Amino acid sequence: MQDSKKIILSGMRPTGKLHIGHYVGALENWVTLQNDYQNYHLIADYHTLTTNLDTSNIFDDSIDMAIDWIASGIDPVKSPIFRQSKIKEHTELFLIFSMLITKARLERNPTLKEQIKDMNISSIIYGHLGYPVLQAADILLYKGNMVPVGEDQVPHVEITRQIAGVFNEKFPMPDGRQIFPIPEPKITKFARLPGLDGKAKMSKSLDNTILISDNEEIIKAKMKKAFTDPNKLRKGDKGNPDICLVYTYHNKFNPAEVPEVRKGCSEGTLGCFDCKMNISKKISDYFAPIREKREILENNKNNILDILIDGENRARTIARQTMSEVREAMKIG
Ligand code: TRP
Ligand code: SF4
């Protein structure tokens, strides 16, 4: 049956320990998908170089991220987990693909424009412009049919589709077969969990995150500073849950009490402190089994490295096969 399963390629840049926004926006979804599809999980370590040349933490960050993936329920036996930099075929296909797309097309990439704005930089490096080209290589080396992504990554899947189309047309196999599928983005429903400061997104660089590994005490301490309805200053004040991010967390992690929280908040019978302590406990309980699992994994980091090496061996076999087809079609190398 394995062969008839559609292929999913999912990836993240290794940013170290993951936050609960990663879980809600991606991981939870990956875990469900692994039953019906053949999944490959890429640790996009080369991609981190596009915005940060400090490589001192890449190794540890990759291991920490893999721990969070596995603790969250990714089964590395079913779904290989591997580091991009360990499979040379990524860079090879990246080079070939970079001949198939114009600079102007890459400059139109809205995700790149966003990043330039966010990072407040005036000029970007060549490799950053080529970010989606490397991503296309990541996806197509494994002939990915589907890519689970947040909205911000959809333009990269579009570029991947374009590159696949151009390659297929220019370089069919001798028997006329086309090598690459045209992958579809699969957008996550509950894609974004806002940050503790009320910003749209949790992000390490904004320092507004709750980590998957945070225990109840840490969550409570972080939650105390969380953004709420600014007009609700004390318990008796009536609040508006719709503008409060703590309420968003209740929706996700405490659905059973949502009507009660809504009523208490808008009528002023519920105070923000109690509301925050309540949700902190719920979030902690929600992640408790994952925390337990990750603690065991963390105490045995050598095992994680073995898991990665095994995933890399399996991924490399596929990547080599694809590259030999690419070379045959291109009559090169
Ligand atoms: N660009 C993705 C992100 O920042 C990470 C990534 C790299 C990726 N290669 C990929 C995602 C291939 C999916 C498929 O989230
Ligand atoms: Fe937000 Fe809860 Fe305070 Fe209402 S009571 S403003 S939902 S923290």
Residues 6+ apart with CB under 8 A from 211: 17, 18, 19, 20, 218
Looking at ligand 1, which atom is closest to the CA of residue 13? 5
Across the chain, mean pLDDT equals 95
Q: Is the CB of 89 under 6 A from ligand 2?
A: no
Nearest ligand to the CA atom of 237: 2
In short, whether 141's Cβ falls inside 6 Å of ligand 1 is no
What is the spatial distance between Cα 254 and Cα 147, in angstroms, rounded to a whole number? 29
pTM for this predicted structure: 0.94
The region of weakest confidence among 32-36, 198-202, 313-317 is 198-202
**Which residue reads 């490096």 in tokens?**
125
Residue 2 has pLDDT above 90, yes or no: no
Q: Which residues pair with 38 in a beta bridge?
A: 7
pLDDT at 3: 60
**Which of 8, 12, 46, 192 has the most ligand 1 atoms within 8 A of CB, as the residue to mutate?**
12
Q: What is the mean pLDDT of residues 271-287?
A: 98
Q: What angle do CA 204, 207, 208 make, to 5 degrees?
A: 100
Q: Which domains does the chain have, with CATH numbers?
A: 2-193+301-330 (3.40.50.620), 213-294 (1.10.240.10)
Q: Is the CB of 276 under 6 A from ligand 2?
A: yes
- Kindly state if the Cβ of 144 falls inside 6 Å of ligand 2: no
- Ligand positioned closest to the Cα atom of 185: 1
CA distance 6 to 139: 13
Question: 61 CA distance to ligand 2 centroid (A)?
Answer: 35
Report pLDDT for 200. Answer: 85
Q: What is the pLDDT of residue 189?
A: 67
Q: Determine whether the shortest distance from the Cβ of 66 to ligand 1 is under 6 A.
A: no
Each residue's pLDDT tens digit, 186-215: 987 665 789 999 888 898 888 999 999 999
9 lines ligand 1 (CB under 6 A): yes
